[in-house]
Structure 1
Amino acid sequence: MENKKQSGFSKVLNESVFPAIMKFVNTKAITALKDGIVYSMPFIIIGSIFLILNNIPIPAVSAAITASGWGAIFNQAYTASFAIMSVWAAVGIAYVYARNEKVEALPAGLTSLATFILIQSLSIANPLVAAMGKTGTGVSNAAGKVVWTGTQLANYIDKAPKAVQAFMSQDVTGVINLTWLGGQGMIGAIVVGLLVGWTYTAMMKRGWQIKLPEQVPANVAGQFSAMIPAGIILTVAMVVYGLLSKFANTNAMQLIYTWLQTPLQGVSDSLGGALIIAFMVPFFWFFGVHGGMIMGAITGGLLIPNTADNAALTAAHKLTLANGAHIVTNEFYNNFINLTGSGITIGLVIFTLFFAKSVQLKSIGKIEAVPAIFNINEPFLFGLPLVMNPWLAVPFFLTPVVVALTTYLVIWSGIVPPLNGVAAPWTTPPIVSGFLIGGWKMAVWQAIVLVESALIYFPFAKKYDSYLLAEEAKNAAEEVKA
């Protein structure tokens, strides 16, 4: 009866639920989002190196780097790579969308970039305003030492003529605001990238382009072909910017951030959000569907901005939950929920190497031992297998949930600091990745997570091993009789 129920449940999932999910994941928009946002990853990882150099977790070394002026140089490199991740996303998403539609892709990506910049307010608040007064930040030197307090600065400014004071306190115009180029602009970049990719390819496919004679070189003709779609898109973006600026005193990036990104990031950064993500990855895998790919595509656009926000706080030496640091980031997903592979199967590796008695578990354990160090566990997923294996379903589902719960709580309670925004590649070995993304305390916690996995998997793996051992003995006896 139980098998029939399980069979019926599996049939519903495989025939109704999963096809609908996969249809959604494989839509043009989600494919462009998933593959386009990857273009930002090299810059995020490279920028993470400079972020680490500017925030060495040894106070004396960190102070020496800051005093030498190299801290500002490292921060410049971080800003030009990691801190403008939304630029790479805006270009990459539109590029992939056009490429998949067999349209010349680079002009679409560049049009997306121009649109992304156009809908922003090209100004920043005057730094003097924030620096002046009793609560002002004052003026600091390259080493971060305040050389003029906010009160002193205000007293000097007050002595200048009114016209000069007004000029010095005006917003700085004619600049690109870095705020929207980083994590805060990610959802805006996704929206722009998808809309530009879709409209650009639609116009190109309908022939809305300037066609030059065959004698004109292809590289020149291609640029003229892009003029009409790009011109229409930028004109529409200009009208949107103008209307919002004139009648609402805001811009599209601010609206997207307030109405869309902030609520979604709040959900993704909650305990409930972390537990759902942790459960859904092995749930999909159990039925043979790539849970990491599905959940990565769905959550990446939210968790990567969380990472960027934490990186910005780290760069400013203000990484605390009180200052708005996130608990659940893309590194929480990669280096905890998927530590040593989906299902956090390191506990199963330990059992197969040191405690298993069946030939099947011992053999597959030797194959998986090295890949597990680099967070790859396909040999277990399909070779053990974990897919559709009721013996190991409970620890496979439970371990990521327990790890997500306990990791969330130790960060929330202050036992370990928030993740610092460093983007360690997902193949970075455990403990090493913990140190990179959160210092020695996070490395220690990652080691504890490995122990959690071992404790949860052990009793279930032992029962499964006993079952396999009995089956192997039975098969051996039948072979002898034959």
Structure 2
Amino acid sequence: MDNRFVQRFIEIAGRIGAQRHLVAVRDGFVAIMPLIIIGSLAVLLNNFPAFGPVDLVGFLNSIFGEGNWQNVGGTVWNGSFAVIGLLIAFSVAYNLAKSYDLDGLAAGLISIASFIMLVPVTEDWGLNFAWLGAQGLFVALIVSLITTELFRLLVKSNITIKMPDGVPEGVQRSFQALIPTALILLLVGIFQALMTVVAEISVFEVIFNVIQAPLQGIGNTLPAAIVVSFLNHLLWFFGLHGTNIIGSVIEPIYLPLIEENLALFQQGVSAFEVPYTVTKPFLDSFVFMGGSGTTIALIIAIFIVVRGKQKHPYKEIAKLSTPAGIFNINEPVIFGLPIVLNPIMLIPFILIPVTLTIVSFFALDLGLVPKTVAIVPWTTPPILSGYLVTGGDVRGIILQLFNIALAVVMYIPFVIAGMRTLNKQNEG
């Protein structure tokens, strides 16, 4: 492989991964991920199926009355997934402002205020929840980035109120943000008035119809899933954190899809009948098992090839990597084996996840396995994650076991080749 090409690729990918606005979007989603996961699990609990003699929903209904206890899960949903747009409006603006060494709290509050100003109002003068959630995600991203850039421009231009020395720091920050806040909200107000008069449609509907809906439609296709899987692992092969680099791009596309699945599942729709196949839990649970590259299968393949008491560096690395690999942390095997810039491992490291993406897509799309209706922490071990993301269905476990077995079979020839190459190097 041409070293100049490798160096150039790493340089370009590194710049993209470090781009300020993409990093702010990525960190904004990471910050609210605990709320998203808890909201997802609340819905899953409310609709948990009977498993053999264990009927959790029936048991709780017998104690608290039919459906009464499920109000708790519903309110948790309202405070998390249902207002994800509102949360992102603050979180992304906060992180972007901090990257400029500005007042993150002020930027976040300005972003939230601007976002709410644009949200359509119901007839009884309430905010329309339909646009506070995933449907308003792209507007939240645009608002948070634009308002924070305006805030930065105004602060750096010294269009602020200066307070004398001795004034408490909190008061200084508050007055410093006063004029920028007023100007930004005024601009947002004028924009909203023009949209109402000229277009007679909210900016949310425009952005959703023109940008968000088409991207979500493309994102739910097999080619898009293959591209995401391929790019993620190509970046990892060059030692770059593929998940982080492409996360800021795919999160706004795939989170609304799982949100729609979750909302329908909460309303009683079967996990087989929800609309979207490709979601973030789809990739995390059925492709990235053990981490990127399905490296839990690589560890198993090493143990199969290096049998019994036979000693080999590969086996030692597999032993050290197993505890972390169970929880989808695979840096020990990626950098220890290594997989990074290892030409022998390039083919399986990229080919296997792409293959599993195709297998899993058809398994879900054809109705052999339920679609994903829950988000679980990315460290959730395989088997448990497959059961939970499919709404508590053992077919999710079966698909994971099949994928792991297929990946093990595909990894074995390359493990053997890698061991032979290492042995020859040691002998030489």
TM-score bracket, normalised by the shorter chain, equals over 0.9
**Aligned counterparts of 2:22 and 2:389: Cα–Cα separation in 1:** 28
3-state SS, counterpart of residue 344 of structure 2 = coil
**Aligned counterparts of 2:348 and 2:230: Cα–Cα separation in 1:** 11
Q: Is 1:287–1:387's contact at 8 Å kept on the other side of the alignment? A: yes
- Residue 419 of structure 1 is matched in structure 2 by 372
**Aligned counterparts of 1:410 and 1:322: Cα–Cα separation in 2:** 14
Residue 21 of structure 1, CA deviation? 2.8
3-state SS, counterpart of residue 76 of structure 1 = helix
- Residue 33 of structure 1 is matched in structure 2 by 25
**For each residue in 1:258-308, what CA deviation from the matched residue of structure 2 results, as whole angstroms up to 9, or x when unmatched?**
111111111221100000111111111112222122122221221122222
Q: Is 2:272–2:369's contact at 8 Å kept on the other side of the alignment? A: no
Match of 2:261 among 297, 304, 310: 310
- Write the letter of the residue equivalent to 1:108: A
3-state SS, counterpart of residue 223 of structure 1 = helix
1:343 aligns with 2:293: yes
**Aligned counterparts of 1:71 and 1:435: Cα–Cα separation in 2:** 21
**Aligned counterparts of 2:272 and 2:45: Cα–Cα separation in 1:** 23
Unaligned runs of 5+ in 1: 1-5, 124-171, 476-482
**Aligned counterparts of 2:141 and 2:371: Cα–Cα separation in 1:** 26
Q: Is 1:121–1:177's contact at 8 Å kept on the other side of the alignment? A: yes
Residue 248 of structure 1, CA deviation? 1.7
Residue 179 of structure 1, CA deviation? 1.1
- Residue 131 of structure 1 is matched in structure 2 by none
Residue 471 of structure 1, CA deviation? 4.2
3-state SS, counterpart of residue 173 of structure 1 = coil
**Aligned counterparts of 1:35 and 1:191: Cα–Cα separation in 2:** 15
- Write the letter of the residue equivalent to 2:4: K
- Residue 16 of structure 2 is matched in structure 1 by 24
- Residue 414 of structure 2 is matched in structure 1 by 460
Alignment map for 1:208-357 (pairs within 5 Å): 208-319=159-270, 325-356=275-306
Q: Is 1:347–1:458's contact at 8 Å kept on the other side of the alignment? A: no
TM normalised by structure 1 equals 0.82
Tell which structure's C-alpha radius of gyration is larger.
1
Q: Is 2:271–2:372's contact at 8 Å kept on the other side of the alignment? A: no
TM normalised by structure 2 equals 0.92
Residue 105 of structure 1, CA deviation? 1.1
Q: Is 1:346–1:453's contact at 8 Å kept on the other side of the alignment? A: no
Residue 245 of structure 1, CA deviation? 1.5
Q: How much identity, in percent, do the aligned residues show? A: 31
Q: CA 1:370–1:115 in structure 2 vs 1: closer, same or farther (change >3 Å)?
A: same
- Write the letter of the residue equivalent to 1:437: V
1:372 aligns with 2:325: yes
- Residue 112 of structure 2 is matched in structure 1 by 113
3-state SS, counterpart of residue 391 of structure 1 = helix
- Write the letter of the residue equivalent to 2:279: T
Q: Is 1:50–1:78's contact at 8 Å kept on the other side of the alignment? A: yes
Q: Is 1:25–1:297's contact at 8 Å kept on the other side of the alignment? A: no
1:67 aligns with 2:56: no
- Write the letter of the residue equivalent to 2:132: L
3-state SS, counterpart of residue 343 of structure 1 = coil
- Residue 450 of structure 1 is matched in structure 2 by 404
Q: Is 1:347–1:457's contact at 8 Å kept on the other side of the alignment? A: yes
Q: Is 2:92–2:145's contact at 8 Å kept on the other side of the alignment? A: yes
**Aligned counterparts of 2:22 and 2:41: Cα–Cα separation in 1:** 30
- Residue 75 of structure 2 is matched in structure 1 by 76
3-state SS, counterpart of residue 386 of structure 1 = coil
Residue 320 of structure 1, CA deviation? 5.5
**Aligned counterparts of 2:231 and 2:311: Cα–Cα separation in 1:** 30
**Aligned counterparts of 1:243 and 1:334: Cα–Cα separation in 2:** 43
Moved more, 210-219 or 338-347: 210-219
**Aligned counterparts of 1:41 and 1:85: Cα–Cα separation in 2:** 10
Q: Is 1:211–1:224's contact at 8 Å kept on the other side of the alignment? A: yes
**Aligned counterparts of 1:291 and 1:73: Cα–Cα separation in 2:** 37
Unaligned runs of 5+ in 2: none
Residue 426 of structure 1, CA deviation? 0.7
Q: Is 1:83–1:312's contact at 8 Å kept on the other side of the alignment? A: no
- Residue 384 of structure 1 is matched in structure 2 by 337
Q: CA 1:21–1:46 in structure 2 vs 1: closer, same or farther (change >3 Å)?
A: same
Residue 225 of structure 1, CA deviation? 1.6
- Residue 93 of structure 1 is matched in structure 2 by 92
Residue 322 of structure 1, CA deviation? 5.6
**Aligned counterparts of 1:322 and 1:250: Cα–Cα separation in 2:** 32
3-state SS, counterpart of residue 276 of structure 2 = coil
Q: CA 1:322–1:241 in structure 2 vs 1: closer, same or farther (change >3 Å)?
A: farther
**Aligned counterparts of 2:14 and 2:304: Cα–Cα separation in 1:** 39
**Aligned counterparts of 2:67 and 2:193: Cα–Cα separation in 1:** 45
3-state SS, counterpart of residue 367 of structure 1 = helix
**Aligned counterparts of 1:394 and 1:121: Cα–Cα separation in 2:** 50
Residue 428 of structure 1, CA deviation? 0.7
Alpha-carbon RMSD: 1.9
Q: CA 1:284–1:358 in structure 2 vs 1: closer, same or farther (change >3 Å)?
A: farther
**Aligned counterparts of 2:196 and 2:273: Cα–Cα separation in 1:** 33
Q: Is 2:305–2:415's contact at 8 Å kept on the other side of the alignment? A: no
**Aligned counterparts of 1:404 and 1:231: Cα–Cα separation in 2:** 49
- Write the letter of the residue equivalent to 2:288: N
- Write the letter of the residue equivalent to 2:417: K
**Aligned counterparts of 1:462 and 1:251: Cα–Cα separation in 2:** 60
Q: Is 1:359–1:469's contact at 8 Å kept on the other side of the alignment? A: no
**Aligned counterparts of 1:26 and 1:470: Cα–Cα separation in 2:** 39
- Residue 48 of structure 1 is matched in structure 2 by 40
